[in-house]
């Protein structure tokens, strides 16, 4: 735990990016919290699909639910809410001891609603009320349609984990939504000291797409020095994006506007580094951890990344503030090489939505199959 304790001393919390009833019941989650310094958990449809479709950990509850519920989607929500509630209860000590900064568990609205503002708000309200825990985050994607829903939910006092952020512009939009919500609450004499939000910036997927474009479309057409520059951009885009986003975070959460909110009890909306598992074997398994350590940040990791970082990861203070000039140069060189980062990030949002929709639909299909077998 020493490495993760040091990470916390440097201002960064590590969260786990998966949740299952098995880890809740077999003691794994308790061990991670009490012995390994775990500070929070996120979940998504792909994780729930794997957890629910395999094994029999959910069977007793499913058998009970089908006595009165026919709709598979409602059965799924009941299963997911139970896991979130139990995990929230297990992390309540972290939540209390951190003054409500850590100890959160996230539950996602249906990915089918990523482009639906009103429906997103309706489902966010329902899920937050059903979980009924102060340390619950509702996950809403930072799409164009999601931003107004994010602001409204925060204004209503619902803690929000904003997902699918790939661009600096999108990050700035959700940070502004958070500030707007805080100001609206203050103007109506509503408390803001318990309201929390994180902005989840997805990393490895940026490198996957940019590297693909560089290798397949750009580098083969270049020669000599230009080709060397483009080759040096491989694997650089995601970390550069995170460093620039963190610079904007520090700028946004400072100055007169923020100090007024801070004096009223507001906490910063922390950047959360997501999609931190390495998807390219040529890169280190700790690639999206070591250079992104900084104050008021979260890194949510899968189990294999957690173990790799514990085993051989380097830990140094404020690495995210280093090489900022290089990060801006990466973006400039990408532009000169013909990579359109606006197009890249737009494509990543659409792909990200679909990457959540597909396992969500598979999850419901697997659950329906299990329900039908139980009814026979």
The catalytic site residues sit at 139
The DSSP 8-state label assigned to residue 137 in this structure reads: E
Per the CB < 8 A criterion, the answer to whether 302 and 18 are in contact is: yes
Tokens 């999609």 belong to residue: 275
Each as own residue / partner, the long-range contacts of residues 208-213 (CB below 8 Å, 24 or more positions apart, any chain) are: 208/279, 208/280, 209/344, 209/347, 209/348, 209/351, 210/237, 210/238, 210/334, 210/339, 210/341, 210/344, 211/235, 211/237, 211/280, 213/339, 213/344
Q: What's the CA gap between 284 and 278, in Å, rounded?
A: 7
Q: What's the CA gap between 88 and 105, in Å, rounded?
A: 6
DSSP secondary structure, 291-310, as one string: GG--TTEEEEE-HHHHHHHH
Per the CB < 8 A criterion, the answer to whether 298 and 15 are in contact is: yes
Q: What's the CA gap between 135 and 324, in Å, rounded?
A: 34
**Helix orientation angle between 303-312 and 2-9, rounded to the nearest 10 degrees:** 90
Let me know if 226 is exposed, middle or buried by CB neighbors in 10 A (0-12, 13-18, 19+).
Answer: middle
Tokens 């998966």 belong to residue: 18
Identify the helix (H) or strand (E) that includes residue 343.
Answer: helix 341-375
User: What is the phi-psi region of residue 275: left when phi exceeds 0, alpha when psi lies from -120 to 50, beta otherwise?
Assistant: left
Q: What's the CA gap between 181 and 162, in Å, rounded?
A: 14
Maximal CA-CA distance, the chain = 70
Residues 6+ apart with CB under 8 A from 56: none
């Amino acid at each position: 735990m020493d490495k993760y304790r040091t990470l916390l001393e440097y201002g960064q919390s590590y969260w786990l990016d998966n949740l299952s009833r098995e880890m809740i019941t077999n003691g794994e989650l308790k061990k991670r919290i009490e012995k390994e310094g775990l500070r929070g958990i996120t979940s998504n449809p792909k994780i729930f699909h794997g957890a629910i479709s395999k094994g029999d950990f959910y069977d007793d509850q499913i058998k009970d639910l089908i006595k009165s519920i026919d709709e598979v989607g409602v059965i799924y929500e009941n299963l997911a809410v139970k896991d979130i509630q139990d995990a929230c209860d297990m992390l309540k000590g972290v939540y209390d001891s951190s003054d409500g900064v850590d100890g959160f568990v996230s539950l996602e609205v249906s990915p089918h609603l990523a482009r639906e503002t009103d429906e997103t708000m309706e489902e966010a309200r329902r899920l937050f009320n059903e979980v009924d825990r102060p340390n619950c985050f509702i996950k809403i994607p930072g799409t164009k349609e999601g931003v107004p829903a994010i602001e409204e939910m925060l204004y209503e006092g619902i803690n929000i984990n904003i997902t699918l952020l790939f661009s600096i512009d999108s990050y700035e939009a959700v940070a502004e939504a958070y500030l707007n919500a805080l100001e609206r609450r203050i103007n109506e004499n509503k408390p803001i000291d318990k309201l929390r939000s994180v902005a989840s910036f997805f990393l490895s997927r940026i490198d996957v797409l940019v590297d693909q474009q560089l290798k397949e479309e750009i580098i083969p057409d270049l020669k000599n020095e230009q080709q060397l520059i483009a080759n040096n951009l491989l694997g650089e885009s995601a970390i550069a994006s995170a460093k620039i986003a963190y610079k904007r975070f520090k700028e946004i959460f400072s100055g007169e506007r923020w100090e007024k909110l801070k004096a009223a009890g507001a906490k910063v909306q922390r950047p959360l580094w997501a999609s931190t598992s390495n998807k390219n074997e040529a890169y280190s398994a700790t690639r999206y951890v070591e250079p992104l350590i900084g104050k008021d940040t979260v890194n949510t990791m899968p189990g294999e990344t957690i173990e790799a970082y514990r085993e051989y990861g380097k830990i140094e203070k404020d690495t995210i503030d280093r090489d900022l000039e290089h990060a801006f140069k990466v973006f400039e060189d990408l532009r000169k090489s013909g990579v359109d980062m606006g197009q890249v990030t737009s494509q990543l949002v659409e792909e990200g939505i679909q990457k959540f929709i597909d396992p969500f639909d598979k999850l419901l299909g697997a659950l329906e199959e299990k329900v039908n077998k139980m009814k026979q």
